[in-house]
Amino acid sequence: QPHFHREDGALHCEGVPLAALAREHGTPLFVYSKASMLDALAAYQRGFAGRNARICFAMKANSSLAILQLFARAGCGFDIVSGGELERALAAGADPSRIIFSGVGKTRAEMRRALDAGIGCFNVESEAELEVLSATAEAGGVRAPVSIRVNPDVDPKTHPYISTGLKGNKFGVAHEDAVRVYRHAASLPGLRVVGIDCHIGSQITEESPYLDAMDRILDLVQAIEAAGVPLAHIDFGGGLGILYGEDTPPAADELWHKLLAKVDARGMGGKTLMIEPGRSLVGNAGACVTEVLYLKPGEKKNFCIVDAAMNDLPRPAMYQAFHAIEPLQAAEGPAQTWDVVGPVCESGDWIGRDRALAVAAGDNLAVMSAGAYCMSMASNYNTRPRAAEVLVDGDRATLIRERESVQDLMLRERLLP
């Protein structure tokens, strides 16, 4: 994981030892590397050099304000999926014209707010939504910029819960319906058709699904334009995987070199290209530091019980996801095999299984690649306050989110009279 390295055995994020951060802020603690995020962004920027392109961070991956601010300052737009994400993006200083709004269930109130804010594009996912968006925009005296999310029907070869571009998924409109739906959209008075959108899934580690999806989308662009609906942009979604363990995802710049060759071959290089990367911008930029509470060796399994749990790190419980787990201080003793588990009262509350670790109670461990879909998916299950977050820049660390308190959790509740 770039920008996480050891000095004298001590795990550092950039210039800061993680152990010092754990001492200062307590655990569980999310630690992010600013350089790692900007490097990940730079790989895409290199891929699009000299092009008319827009990178919209899919903020569902990590929506902490300071991180959004970092990407906004670096020129990113944002892919949002709720009114809540819109307010976060605006609060972080996002340029509204660079915000695109995805998701199958936008409410009228969310549409109104996004129209008022002047967002760049609505990625519409159904015909019913087209009608409602058109009516909502008309009532406000404006035209909503839209692209329609189409399902290229390619298998991204990833976990079924995070495959989204197949028939039978709830997302987008079917490939074979696309031309008809575009004609319909172009006829609605409250809409202005500006582009086409797709997103085939997440944690994609092979090139071929992307290359296939691009062919299918470019076929559609030709067909839609031939039907008299010009498209100014192609939004190719997000989904590029990161290295968690054994995965070997393609590099963003190399992948885009190949994808852009396809675009150019069709003479479509003049269109604006948009992407919605989430995980690949932040996933490997974060780690979650946790403390070993108890060791519980057993007949069948040895359990290493830590103070982070499925409410902080939900990916193993939800997707059987693998995250590397490393001691903050390289250990001298012999390693044993442990299941690293949290305090939550569910057997599904595990963070890593069968890990070789030399650990003792009181040690700190780092759960790696925890920058994406961890804090943003954290919950308060078991009345566990959410962790604190720190952003490291060189040898400076900034607290970007205070640890939640139990009082925070009870704030909106009322006892019976």
Determine if 205 is a binding residue for ligand LLP (CB under 6 A): no
239 is in an annotated binding site: yes
Rounded to an integer, what distance in angstroms lies between the CA atom of residue 87 and that of residue 393?
26
**Number of residues counted as binding ligand LLP (CB under 6 A):** 21
Nearer CB in complex with ligand LLP: 13/242? 242
346 is in an annotated binding site: yes
Nearer CB in complex with ligand LLP: 320/405? 320
Nearer CB in complex with ligand LLP: 55/181? 55
277 is in an annotated binding site: yes
Judge contact between 4 and 286, C-beta under 8 A.
no
Task: Mark whether 345 is an active-site residue.
Answer: yes
Site string for ligand LLP, 151-180 (x = CB under 6 A): -----------x-x----------------
Structural tokens at position 50: 């000299």
Determine if 202 is a binding residue for ligand LLP (CB under 6 A): yes
- Smallest CA-to-CA distance from 27 within 292, 238, 205, 284 is with 292
Rounded to an integer, what distance in angstroms lies between the CA atom of residue 60 and that of residue 44?
19
Q: Is 362 left (phi over 0), alpha (psi -120 to 50) or beta?
A: left
Determine if 203 is a binding residue for ligand LLP (CB under 6 A): yes
Determine if 199 is a binding residue for ligand LLP (CB under 6 A): yes
Determine if 79 is a binding residue for ligand LLP (CB under 6 A): yes
Determine if 58 is a binding residue for ligand LLP (CB under 6 A): yes
Determine if 76 is a binding residue for ligand LLP (CB under 6 A): no
**β partners of residue 24:** none
Residue 289: CB atoms within 10 Å: 28
Determine if 381 is a binding residue for ligand LLP (CB under 6 A): no
Determine if 238 is a binding residue for ligand LLP (CB under 6 A): yes
Question: Which of these segments, 207-215, 231-239, 245-253, 295-303, binds ligand LLP (CB under 6 A)?
Answer: 231-239
Tokens 């390693």 belong to: 335
Count of alpha carbons within 13 angstroms of residue 2, beta-carbon side: 13
The phi and psi torsions of 12 (rounded to 5 degrees) equal -115, 150
Nearer CB in complex with ligand LLP: 110/276? 276
| Helix (H) and strand (E) counts in the chain | 12, 21
Residues annotated as part of the active site: 345
